Structure 1
C-alpha cells in the first residue's frame, strides 16, 4: 500500500533543515537564493519543492547534496550533517539533475555499472544490478546502445536507474520531467511513483503543479528563496479560501492597469496602488495576474517584476 502523509508523519527523519540560507555575494547587490528554510522530510515520504524557475529549489537541492555550500543554517541528510559529513551524505543519496550527465562514450549498461563500481560493488554485482534496473525501467533493449542514441525520456530513465545503483536512502529528482514530451512525462511519473511505493524516500523539485499534486505527499511552496507554504497537496488546495497576494511592479504609475479589476469575475479584490506597484489581495486569484499584465500592456506599461504569494498553510497535523 502506498504510504500516506499520515503514515510517514511519525517515521524517522530523512532530511532536516534549520535556517538554511544561500547568498551569492558576487551577484548585483547580493542574491539571496534561499532564505532561512526550516523543513523536515520523513523516511519513506515523497516530498516536493514547488516553485517557478528561480525560486530557489535547485539551490536547496544543491545544498542538501553537498554541491552548494550554505551561507548559513544547517542541514542533515540520512543522519549526517551536510557540511561536516559530506562523504557520509554522498554515500547515502542518489541524485538526478536537470542536465543530461550520462557519459556519451559509454553504453547505457556501462553508465550504470560504472556507478555501482564507484560505490564499491564488484564488477559482476554491478553488471547484474544495472541489467535489473534497465529491465525494471523498460530499457533492457537499450543496454548496449550508446547514451547519445537515447531519446530525452529514455535518458532520464537511465539517469534515475544510475542514481539507484547503490540503493540510496534518499533520492533527489531535480525537475526530472522538464523538457520531455507528454508521453515520456507520463512514463516517468509511473516510474517515480513505483519507486515510492517500495518505500523509497523521494525529494522532487518541479514547477508543474499537476506533477506535484499527482506524486507528492507533502509540498513546500517556495518563491524567491522563501517558504510560502508546507502541507499536503489537498490542504494547500483547500487553503485557496485564504488571501492570495499578487504584486506587479510596472515602469510607471500602475493605476491604469487596475481600473477594471473590481468588475471582473471573482471579485471583490482588495487593490492597493503605490506608484508603479500594485498589490491585489484576493480569494479568487485564477487569471488575475494575466489580467493585470494584459491591462498594463494595453495602458502602455512595462512589467518589471510580478509575483504571486499563495496563502501560508499550516504544518501537517498529527493523525
Structure 2
C-alpha cells in the first residue's frame, strides 16, 4: 500500500492494554491515521499509543465515526460483544463498508456469532488473534492468524503488517481463532516443560541460566525458553501475557472438546495456572511465567510436611 493510500485510510483502535497500546503505536508510526480509545483512561497503554502518534479519544463513537478499519484488542467474549454490539458499540456508528478486525482470543463459536451480526449491518469482520506477547507487540513482530472474508483480509493486510511479522490467512470466519487455540495449547505446555526444567536444574546444582543458554540452541529450543526462561530463573513475574488470560484461553480450548476427549496436558497446565491465580491478589495478573510459583508452592508444602 502506497503512502498516499495510507494517508487516506483512517483507522480506529479500541483497547489499549499490554498488547493494544503498542499495536496502536506501531500502526500510527507506519503513517496511518489512528483514533484510539480505552475503556479505562490514563492506563500505560494509552500513553504508549499516544507517544506513537495515535490520537486518544474519549468514546468509541468518536474513535470510529470516520474509520475505514476498526481494530479491537480486549479481553474476553463479553468485552468484545460490548465493544462491538453493545449500546455504544462499534456497529452503532461505524460507516457502511467498514472492516472490524478483532485481535482478541474468544474462540471460533463466539466469532461466528458476532461476525453474523456485524455482517447484517453492512460491515465486515475478521478474527485475527495474535501471538508473540508484549515483546512482539512492542517490536511489531507478532504472529497474526486471520479468519473471515478473503477480500477483506487482503484489504487489511498492509495494516496487519505494521503490527506483525508473520501474517496468515487461515480460512473462513472462526479459523483464526481455531489456530490460536492450538497455539495456546502449545504455549501452556511449553511453560510446564520450562518450569520443570528450571526446577530440575536447581535440584542438580546447575545454574538455570546456563540451561537456558545451552538448551535454546538445540532441539529443546522454544520461544518460551528464549524469552521467558530468564524471567522464570529471576522470579520476574511482570506480565507480558497474564495468567487470567491464559486461563480464559484454556477454558475456550476445553469448551471445543467433549469431556471424553479431554486433553490431559491442557488439564495439567490449567490446574497449575489456577493454583497461581488463587495464591494471592497478584496471581491472576502476573505473567504466565509465574506458573513456577505453583511448583514452588508444592515444594514448600512437601517440605513443611
Specify if TM > 0.5.
Answer: no
Would you tell me which structure has more helix in proportion to its own residues?
Answer: 2
What TM-score do the two structures reach when normalised by structure 2?
0.32
What TM-score do the two structures reach when normalised by structure 1?
0.31
Q: Which has the bigger relative contact order, CA under 8 A and spacing at least 6? A: 1
**Larger CA Rg, structure 1 vs 2:** 1
Would you tell me which structure has more strand in proportion to its own residues?
Answer: 1
